[in-house]
Amino acid sequence: MFNLSAISQAPVITVIGSSNMDMVISAPHIPAPGETILGSDFEMLPGGKGANQAVTIARLTNQVNFITNLGSDSMGKELINVYDREKMNMSLISEDSSTSTGVALITIDRKGENCIVVSPGANGLLSSSMIDQHLDVIIGSGMIVTQMEIPVATIKHLLTISKDHNKKLLLNPAPAEHIASLDLEGLFLLTPNRGEASLITEVELNNETGYLKAATKLRDRGIQNVVITLGKEGAFVCCDDFTGIVDSFEAEVVDTTGAGDVFNGAIAVALNSGIKINEAVSFANRAASIAVGKKGAQTAIPTLGQISVYYR
């Protein structure tokens, strides 16, 4: 088992991505098209895949650079307060008065599964030129992390920056529909979930043969490491050093919203600290298994202290 003290000595990670205000209602089931159902109380909670991953990294390492774009509205102001409390580098957060802060409508069913619709708002205006304003910060960081709730052109720019400056980029392809247009040659790590991996590769992911076929197709595009997250089954890893499933941990599931983001933030922290990939995946599985036990994306993110009890 690895030593968690490596985490405190690692360089800062930069996350570039979305911020949303999550509008959450729990319901007996996810409604079918045309169906109206009664759910429980409504809650507004901080979310967005980029922010969830950045907050995970902040809680595990006490530092993170988060480049994001908010609307100049009350939701944006609330999120700024959240990021300040998480001790993020506030100089990287921009506001745009021409649009609203990103919003996600989330329904959670009795099993803790969810369905999400996102209105990107200001996330859709996070441009390559905004990235260039913070180029020194990006290339000075130990690792770059991004997802696909921001413009594809910005992701393409990040892929170029990571190649030109020899930086490790983790791309979480969520949502995955625009990934076909990306040149992924040289990408350090791609982390699709089962559905995203299937959408990208057109392979059915029902068993280890399917996982290997999909991961191999992805690595054929020049990606160094592929990790397919499989929920309670764990994650399938495919890279030069290791191929196979890394098991998950037993968990009481209350809400799976943001569990994938916690996985991504945590695996970035572990790999950035020099931890081997199969151990990094196990650490990320542990973080995600804690996160599913509580409602909300960011409210459920564990601290390093909460994870470290499993490493004594």
Q: What is the set of active-site residues?
A: 261
Choosing from 86, 96, 149, 196, the residue that interacts with ligand RIB (CB under 6 A) is 149
Q: Work out how close the CB of 44 gets to ligand RIB at its nearest, in angstroms, rounded to a whole number.
A: 11
Identify which of residues 115 and 153 has a Cβ nearer to ligand RIB in the complex. 115
Q: Work out how close the CB of 149 gets to ligand RIB at its nearest, in angstroms, rounded to a whole number.
A: 6
State how far Cα 25 lies from the chain centre: 22
Q: Work out how close the CB of 241 gets to ligand RIB at its nearest, in angstroms, rounded to a whole number.
A: 28
Residues making up the chain, counted from first to last: 312
Choosing from 17, 48, 121, 210, the residue that interacts with ligand RIB (CB under 6 A) is 48
Nearest to 154 by CA among 95, 51, 69: 69
Tell me: does residue 52 bind ligand RIB (CB under 6 A). yes
Identify which of residues 104 and 235 has a Cβ nearer to ligand RIB in the complex. 104
Binding part of the chain for ligand RIB, among 30-38, 46-54, 189-197, 211-219 by CB under 6 A, reads: 46-54
Tell me: does residue 255 bind ligand RIB (CB under 6 A). no
Tell me: does residue 258 bind ligand RIB (CB under 6 A). yes
Tell me: does residue 297 bind ligand RIB (CB under 6 A). yes
Angle between helix 259-272 and helix 277-291 axes, rounded to 10 deg: 150
Q: Work out how close the CB of 47 gets to ligand RIB at its nearest, in angstroms, rounded to a whole number.
A: 2
Nearest to 57 by CA among 272, 277, 274, 312: 272
Identify which of residues 100 and 257 has a Cβ nearer to ligand RIB in the complex. 257
For residue 175, is the peptide bond before it cis, meaning its omega torsion is within 30 degrees of 0? Answer: yes
Identify which of residues 10 and 149 has a Cβ nearer to ligand RIB in the complex. 149
Among residue numbers 3 through 22, which ones bind ligand RIB (CB under 6 A)? 18, 20, 22
DSSP 124: G
The C-alpha atoms of residue 22 and residue 119 are separated, in whole angstroms, by 10
Identify which of residues 96 and 149 has a Cβ nearer to ligand RIB in the complex. 149
Which 3 state secondary structure label does DSSP give 145? strand
Identify which of residues 60 and 116 has a Cβ nearer to ligand RIB in the complex. 116
Tell me: does residue 118 bind ligand RIB (CB under 6 A). yes
Choosing from 4, 7, 49, 201, the residue that interacts with ligand RIB (CB under 6 A) is 49
Tell me: does residue 235 bind ligand RIB (CB under 6 A). no
Tell me: does residue 101 bind ligand RIB (CB under 6 A). no
The C-alpha atoms of residue 254 and residue 110 are separated, in whole angstroms, by 8
CB atoms within 10 A of CB 18: 28
Q: Work out how close the CB of 117 gets to ligand RIB at its nearest, in angstroms, rounded to a whole number.
A: 9
Nearest to 51 by CA among 257, 290, 305, 273: 257
- Which residues make up the interface to ligand RIB (CB under 6 A)? 18, 20, 22, 47-49, 52, 104, 116, 118, 149, 257-258, 260-261, 297
